[in-house]
Amino acid sequence: MVDTENGKNIEEISSNMIDVVIVGAGFAGLYMLYRLRESGFSAKIIEVADGIGGVWHWNRYPGARCDIEAMQYSYSFSEELQQEWKWSEIFPTQPEILRYLNYVADKFDLRKNIELKTQVNAAIFDETHSRWEIQTSRGDRILAKFCVMATGCLSASRIPSINGLETFKGHYYHTGRWPQTDVNFSGRRVAVFGTGSSGVQIIPIIAKQAKHLFVFQRTATFTVPARNKPLEPEYEQWWKSNYAEHRKQMLETITGCLALGMKNCSAMSVTPDERLQEYEKQWQKGSLNFLGSFNDLVFNQEANDTAAEFLRSKIREIVEDPTVAEKLIPRGFPLGAKRLSLDTNYFEAFNHDNVTLVDLQQAPIDEITPTGIRIGNKNYELDDIVFATGFDAFTGALFKIDIRGRAGKTLRDKWADGPCTYLGLMTSDFPNLFIMTGLGSPTVFANAALCIEQNVDWITNCLVYLRTNHYETIEPNTEAENDWGKHVNAVANFILFSKADSWFNGANIEGKPRVFMPYAGGVNNYRKKCQDVVVNGYQGFILATQ
């Protein structure tokens, strides 16, 4: 029998049929593969990179580290794994996290079901057979009952379009696509664009190496010191002595992290002196827990202002040149409305004679020339340019794939005015397609490892339920999907997150619809909602036997 469309033999195609295709081999894809295999499904990961690890494969720039403690930003699914793995630092570097993920892949024998160096170009739903056809860069067509997009919320790196970039004679790099070989900036004149989390990490390191570093800043950023240090044996032991219990407590928090010794009261309920003392204490301790110094910093303008003012005063203290300090001070958006960054000597770097801050608010770039950057009649001579300019977040990697659901409808068309999902997990008219990219879910505001495990467990349990009850397809109904979208928006408007242009709402990408994409209602509430949906017989989903 011949499949007229492709001239391929149906038997040949069917032998290529598996239960689940997973796209992406990061934190999400790896655990998804593990859980599916444990539950008796045939599954396979397709990954474009030449190694596993996702974010931790691609972001090899100097200074790359996690900013949630690795004791928490790690898998919890295997007690053996979490007991035997040893982190060297509170916030380990990229090579160590990548080693960890490779260790996981080996320990659970995942590699045999991972196909590297293969890009998924299209995923087409075949309504007649209720199955997905996955087309890859190798020209393969893989048929699967289900498809899981574990393509990452921050995997589509993005370089802003600047006139003349293609004429530049030096080297240029994106932090999210860093070369696998070492880059040596010594003796070179380097520009860094972008002062988000990656820029904040890389700038102090290049500042030490380069002959001269120019930091081109569009928006100033709030940071809190990381105060990274070796993992102390007592602290490690405290975690490991009761890991399961601690992980359980993490699930009950908003951020999916245990923060010890935090105050649970309003910033406005204490005297200004007490408030400053608390900020100082948290600042000395370091970590993103700073945002939890009081319980209303993200809800209450007045409270938010006191914390922001505290961080501004720290910038004035650290940066010696008052003019430079003023340029580095963030204004016009609430603290936390853009992702807060952890830093190690970031503001200190601007005290170095060989570091120059160029404020793009005052004058934008005119062009990149073969030898540097021109702003007005000023030329900056450069050998290298580093783009720490972030990602086309949430939807970028999905839209690179030609995804077609019922009646040939494309995902790009469906989401032309902004993405809509039910629980961030599925979208109507795209049956049996699961999404884990942080859309409509709390992942990016929280400990992503924990959120990913929650998503994967939910999806696996769902597939087991379908199998047990002989259902062929699952997809959300449009009402449930619309309600979830409204809820995600309502929560974003309630807190202060929606009040800044950022990658949370697509403002970093020209022409991208302004829709607040992640769910800011907390890990605990999200998880409860996901559980309730299941308890109520997959409420809001359409389950069909044919």
Ligand X SMILES: *[C@@H]1O[C@H](CO)[C@@H](O)[C@H](O)[C@H]1NC(C)=O
Ligand Y SMILES: Cc1cc2nc3c(=O)[nH]c(=O)nc-3n(C[C@H](O)[C@H](O)[C@H](O)COP(=O)(O)OP(=O)(O)OC[C@H]3O[C@@H](n4cnc5c(N)ncnc54)[C@H](O)[C@@H]3O)c2cc1C
Residues near ligand Y, by CB under 6 A:
23-29, 46-49, 54-55, 57, 59, 64, 66-68, 73, 119-120, 150-155, 198, 397, 400-401, 436, 447-448, 452
For residue 375, the minimal CB distance to ligand X (Å) is 19
Which residue's entry shows tokens 């990179």? 49
Helix (H, G, I), strand (E, B) or coil at 464: helix
Candidate residues 499, 503, 504, 519; the one interacting with ligand X per rule CB under 6 A: 499
Which of 471/526 has CB closer to ligand X?
526
Candidate residues 204, 286, 334, 419; the one interacting with ligand X per rule CB under 6 A: 334
Cα separation, 30 vs 201, whole angstroms: 27
**Site membership for ligand X, residue 339 (CB under 6 A):** no
CB 401 within 8 A of CB 121: yes
> Of ligand X, ligand Y, none, which one sits near residue 26, judging by CB under 5 to 8 A according to partner kind?
ligand Y
Which secondary-structure segment (H or E) carries 387?
A: strand 384-387
Which of 28/335 has CB closer to ligand X?
335
- Residues numbered 260-279 forming contacts with ligand X, rule: CB under 6 A: 264
> Of ligand X, ligand Y, none, which one sits near residue 66, judging by CB under 5 to 8 A according to partner kind?
ligand Y
- Residues numbered 286-315 forming contacts with ligand X, rule: CB under 6 A: 301, 304-305, 308
Which of 139/376 has CB closer to ligand Y?
139
CB 462 within 8 A of CB 436: no
Helix (H, G, I), strand (E, B) or coil at 423: coil
Which of 267/436 has CB closer to ligand X?
267
Which secondary-structure segment (H or E) carries 198?
A: helix 197-209
Which of 137/379 has CB closer to ligand X?
379
- Residues numbered 345-404 forming contacts with ligand X, rule: CB under 6 A: 354
**Angle in degrees, 0-180, between the axes of helices 448-468 and 27-38, rounded to the nearest 10:** 30
Q: How many residues bind ligand X (CB under 6 A)?
A: 16
Nearest to 154 by CA among 391, 339, 389: 391
Give me Rg for the CA atoms of the chain: 24
Report the b/e string of 23-36 with b at 16+ CB within 10 A.
Answer: bbbbbbbbbbbbbb
CB 245 within 8 A of CB 258: no
Cα separation, 204 vs 95, whole angstroms: 19
Helix (H, G, I), strand (E, B) or coil at 20: strand
> Of ligand X, ligand Y, none, which one sits near residue 73, judging by CB under 5 to 8 A according to partner kind?
ligand Y
Which of 288/382 has CB closer to ligand Y?
288
> Of ligand X, ligand Y, none, which one sits near residue 334, judging by CB under 5 to 8 A according to partner kind?
ligand X
For residue 57, the minimal CB distance to ligand Y (Å) is 6
Separation of first and last alpha carbons in the chain:
24
For residue 157, the minimal CB distance to ligand X (Å) is 25
> Of ligand Y, ligand X, none, which one sits near residue 354, judging by CB under 5 to 8 A according to partner kind?
ligand X
CB 463 within 8 A of CB 481: no
Cα separation, 79 vs 77, whole angstroms: 7
Of 330-338, 380-388, 401-409, 464-472, which part binds ligand X (CB under 6 A)? 330-338
The residue with its CB nearest to ligand Y is 54
Which secondary-structure segment (H or E) carries 237?
A: helix 233-241
**Site membership for ligand X, residue 212 (CB under 6 A):** yes
For residue 473, the minimal CB distance to ligand Y (Å) is 23
x-or-dash string of contact with ligand X, 156-195, rule CB under 6 A: ----------------------------x-xx--------
For residue 99, the minimal CB distance to ligand Y (Å) is 15
For residue 274, the minimal CB distance to ligand Y (Å) is 31
> Of ligand Y, ligand X, none, which one sits near residue 46, judging by CB under 5 to 8 A according to partner kind?
ligand Y
182 CB-near residues (< 8 Å, 6+ apart): none
Cα separation, 546 vs 544, whole angstroms: 5
Which of 401/495 has CB closer to ligand X?
495
Cα separation, 528 vs 531, whole angstroms: 5
DSSP per residue, 468-485: HTT--EEEE-HHHHHHHH
> Of ligand X, ligand Y, none, which one sits near residue 305, judging by CB under 5 to 8 A according to partner kind?
ligand X
The pair of three-digit structure tokens given for residue 164, joined into one six-digit string: 């003349």
Which secondary-structure segment (H or E) carries 310?
A: helix 301-318
For residue 72, the minimal CB distance to ligand Y (Å) is 9
Q: What is the DSSP letter of 291?
A: G
> Of ligand Y, ligand X, none, which one sits near residue 131, judging by CB under 5 to 8 A according to partner kind?
none
Q: State the amino acid at position 21 in one-letter form.
A: V
Task: Count CB atoms within 10 A of the CB of residue 208.
Answer: 15
> Of ligand X, ligand Y, none, which one sits near residue 211, judging by CB under 5 to 8 A according to partner kind?
ligand X
> Of ligand X, ligand Y, none, which one sits near residue 255, judging by CB under 5 to 8 A according to partner kind?
none
> Of ligand Y, ligand X, none, which one sits near residue 29, judging by CB under 5 to 8 A according to partner kind?
ligand Y
Task: Count CB atoms within 10 A of the CB of residue 320.
Answer: 11
Site residues for ligand X per CB under 6 A: 184, 186-187, 211-212, 264, 301, 304-305, 308, 333-335, 354, 496, 499
